Amino acid sequence: MADNKSFMKSLQAYEKIRDMILSGQKLPGTRLVLSELESELGIGRGPIREALMRLDRSGIVKNIPFKGAIVAAPPTHKEILHIYDLRADLEVALALEAIENLTEADMLKLEELQAHMEALPPNHYQLDRQFHHVISSASNLPHLCNIAQALVQSVESVLNIYRREKEHCVRFNAQHRAIIDALKSKDPEKVRMALEVNIKGGLEVIKDTFSKLIKVPFE
C-alpha cells in the first residue's frame, strides 16, 4: 500500500511539473529546485526526485551533474522534421499490428473520443492523444508504444506554442473519421494512408503557425 501511495505521489508530481513546463510557466533553461517545487506542489522531495528522473527520460527535463534539473530546450526545426517522420513510421507499424486486435470496446472508445472531438473542446489535443493511444495499445507491443509516446512528448513543448485553431481541429476530426473507417475495413493500405495524413497534419500546423508568427518559412 505504501509503495502504491508513493507511486501516485510521484505520478502527481510528474504531471504537475510537466504541465508547468508545457504551459510556459517554467521556461527552457529554468532550474527546477527541489525546495521550490516542494513548496509549489505541496509534495515531498522523494516523489519530486522520481518525477524529475522520469521527465528527464522523456526529454522535457535535463538532469545535469552538480547543477541539478533544468527545463530542456525544445527540439530544433530539423529535429522536429525527423521526429515526425519517425512517428509516422512507428505509429503506422503499430496500427497495422493492431488491425486484427482491436475489439468492439476499442472501436466504441474511438467513436466516443471522435464524438467528443467533434464538439471542438478546449482539450482537443488531449483527446487526440487518447485516440492514437487506443490504436497503438491494441498492437500489444508496449515497448514500441513507449517509444512512440516519447517521440510525442519530445515535441509537446513545441505543440504548446503552436495552438490548434478551429480550422485545424475540424481538419483533424475529418482525418480521424477516415482512420476509423480504415480500421473498420481492415485494409492495411487505407490504415497506412489515413494515419500518415493525420500525423503529418500535425507537422503542417506547426509549419503554418510558425510562418504566421515569425513571417518566415519553417525549414
Rg (CA), the chain: 19
CA dihedral 112, 116, 117, 122 (to 10 degrees): -150
CATH fold of 2-71 reads Arc Repressor Mutant, subunit A (1.10.10)
With a CB cutoff of 8 Å and minimum separation 6, the contacts of 81 are 203
Contact 39, 46 (CB under 8 A): no
Residue 78, CA distances (Å) to 11, 85, 98, 185, 207 in order: 32, 11, 30, 36, 12
With a CB cutoff of 8 Å and minimum separation 6, the contacts of 188 are 96, 99
Distance CA 24, CA 95 (A): 33
* DSSP run (H or E) holding 169: helix 166-185
Of the candidates 46, 56, 64, the residue with the CA atom closest to the CA atom of residue 10: 46
**Other Cβ atoms closer than 10 A to 135:** 25
User: 97 is written with which cell numbers?
Assistant: 499490428
Residue 82 identity (one-letter amino acid)? H
Distance CA 41, CA 8 (A): 14
With a CB cutoff of 8 Å and minimum separation 6, the contacts of 195 are 88, 91, 92, 95, 179, 182
Distance CA 22, CA 60 (A): 9
Of 1.20.1050.10, 2.60.40.10, 1.20.120.530, 3.10.150.10, the CATH number of 77-214 is: 1.20.120.530
Domains of the chain, residue spans: 2-71, 77-214
User: 77 is written with which cell numbers?
Assistant: 526545426
pLDDT per residue rounded down to tens, the chain (219 residues): 456 777 788 889 988 898 888 767 888 889 999 999 999 999 999 999 999 998 887 778 888 888 889 998 878 888 889 999 999 999 999 999 999 999 999 999 999 999 999 999 988 888 999 999 999 999 999 999 999 988 887 776 666 555 568 888 999 999 999 999 999 999 999 999 999 999 998 888 777 766 664 455 566
pLDDT at position 43, please? Answer: 92
pTM: 0.71
Instruction: Calculate ∠ Cα 6-67-12, nearest 5°.
Output: 20
Q: What's the sign of the alpha-carbon dihedral 44, 1, 63, 18?
A: negative
